[in-house]
Amino acid sequence: MKVIIVGGVAGGATAAARIRRLDEQAEIVVFERSGFISYANCGLPYYIGSTIEDEKELTLQTPQSFQDRFNIDVHVHHEVTAIHPETKTVAVKNVETGQFFKESYDKLLLSPGARPITPPFEGMDSGKVFTIRTVEDTLKIKNYIDSRRPASAVIVGGGFIGIEMAENLRDLGLDVTLVEASDQLMAPFDKDMASLIHAQVRRNSIHLMLDTMVQGFADHEDHMEVKLKNTPALHTDMVIMAIGVAPETTLAKEAGLELGIKDAIVVNDQMETSVPDIYAVGDAVQIRNFVTGQDTLISLAGPANKQGRIAADTICGLDSHYKGGQGSSVIKLFDMTAAATGINEKTANALGIEYGKVILSPMNHAGYYPGGELMTLKVLFEKDTYHLLGAQIAGYSGVDKRIDVLAAAIRAGMKAYDLSELDLAYAPPYSSAKDPVNMAGFMIENIKNGLVKQWYYEDLGPLLKSGKVTLLDTRTPAEFNAGHINGFIHIPVDELRGRLDELDTDKPVYVMCQSGLRSYIACRILSGHGLDAYNFAGGYRFYEAVRSEKELSKRSSPCGMDQ
């Protein structure tokens, strides 16, 4: 059996190594257009920022190491230019010499990845405008920074790469402006949770411009002009374009393979395309969303590696199936960590899914143990079935392990209230006896059992205007005096039983505290005395974080603007 693999990195390289482990006799040939067969794609921004200092650390395998260990024939700087399914051959161009030749196959695996989206803006061809997708892109940016010593940079795009590049350039001392066309960074997060990311960006002196459209560039001798819609232009020394990627499927399209969303390659759960003996994996393929069952695109290394393994299994006759992805992801932003899995409110609303949600702000470990840090955790579940839909977390220590627990719970098909029963490791330096994930489960269990009703940030405006409810703040006097919402009655929770006569028993009571715990206790007291009580999800701390960021977004304007 002869297997040709088009493209390396995550999916292609994984498949090649797996095929060899399953079949010692197979002839395996890999063609890679770039000069690197297997590299740490996700580590590229950290090399630019000098967190990773040695360029060699980016290269996970070389053509020679693949040959020595796996007996795989790897050709870098070779581009497959055409696929001929009828003759089971591919046309290949040696990029260095320009020579063309044909190569036959029994099985063909496509792992072409995705390409950076580059709008046809004026000035895109400037030597001061960069994209980052390959090692070559990274070395180009690194060499520019080392040789030109730019003082400022504009990052266009607020996804993973854009934020990671902003952090790393800021760490190098550059004045960084992050420009995003939508009203928030990080699309996997809902806007309220993204507010915590926005605040972290601003705290670290990155100028943040949301709802801002780039229209083009003008290259001047001493600076780059970034033209913006309805906003004065920015002056900068360099521009990084990071507005997203699109499946690289030109080959597949010309070969007549079935295409789907954004021309991604359609595959079944064994990574087989519509053409016999041709398989596809990675950022170029359309997959099933594990949570919703809908077709989707997920451009992440984890799914690509799993798909590569499953394609290899299928090629070698094993019965492996890819059950879909749920977009589990995590990002470092200076000392903060943000992570998500499953779907968010935007997706649930778009699909017409009736959902509930809880928001909590627990400590990452036992409160009495020194060094505890808060995290904000949001969990979504289907209202009728209580199936877990997704989760988002922003915080510091311990965020990554909580999102992984929640991702595993979604994968296992757990009910949201079953989170309360998870037997998770506990010691004071690492967690609490009631882990944050358990606490989310307890809250959902209380909702299911009718012990608590919730209200949310978006409800506040209508409630303030209605005049038909009582708004109650149950924090301490010090907390209340440090900041509160006008229109709320203040009764500390420990005084509530003795001051119930201050409340209108004919009106529902909407309760708030700092984090949501004391207000829950207050709701139970009120319910026990016959009042209709609702607990604010997330507490005043969460409310203030979202409100402050909304206000800041309205007022902020970056340094270096043309005025």
Residues with a catalytic annotation lie at 42
Backbone φ and ψ for 346, nearest 5 degrees, come out as: -60, -45
- Listed in sequence order, the residues at least 6 apart from 117 whose beta carbon sits closer than 8 Å to its beta carbon are 241, 243, 244, 245, 246
Instruction: Name residues whose C-beta falls within 8 Å of residue 282's C-beta, 6 or more positions apart in sequence.
Output: 7, 9, 10, 11, 12, 111, 112, 113, 114, 303, 304, 307, 308
Residue 353, both tokens: 């899914």
Contact 165, 240 (CB under 8 A): yes
Coil, strand or helix at 286: strand
Q: SS in 3 state form for 462-479?
A: HHHHHCCCEEEECCCHHH
Which two three-digit tokens encode residue 16? 């090649």
Rounded to whole angstroms, the Cα distance separating 375 from 542 reads 10
Structure-token match 């497959």, residue found: 80
Those residues whose C-beta lies under 8 Å from the C-beta of residue 202, and which sit 6 or more positions away, are: 208, 552, 556
- Can you read off the two tokens belonging to residue 326? 């749920």
Please tell me the distance from the alpha carbon of residue 209 to that of residue 129, in angstroms, as a whole number.
19
User: Is 22 strand, coil or helix?
Assistant: helix
Q: What is the CA radius of gyration of the chain?
A: 27
Local structure of 287: helix, strand or coil: strand
Task: Compute how many other C-beta atoms are within 10 angstroms of the C-beta atom of residue 479.
Answer: 18
> What Å distances lie between residue 344 and 182, 235, 355, CA to CA?
16, 36, 10
Q: How far apart are CA 83 and CA 203, in angstroms?
A: 51
Cβ partners under 8 Å of residue 50, min gap 6: 171, 172
Characterize the bridge pairing of strands 239-241 and 129-131.
Answer: parallel
Positive or negative torsion for Cα 295, 298, 303, 308: positive
Give the dihedral of Cα atoms 320, 325, 326, 331; nearest 10 deg: 110
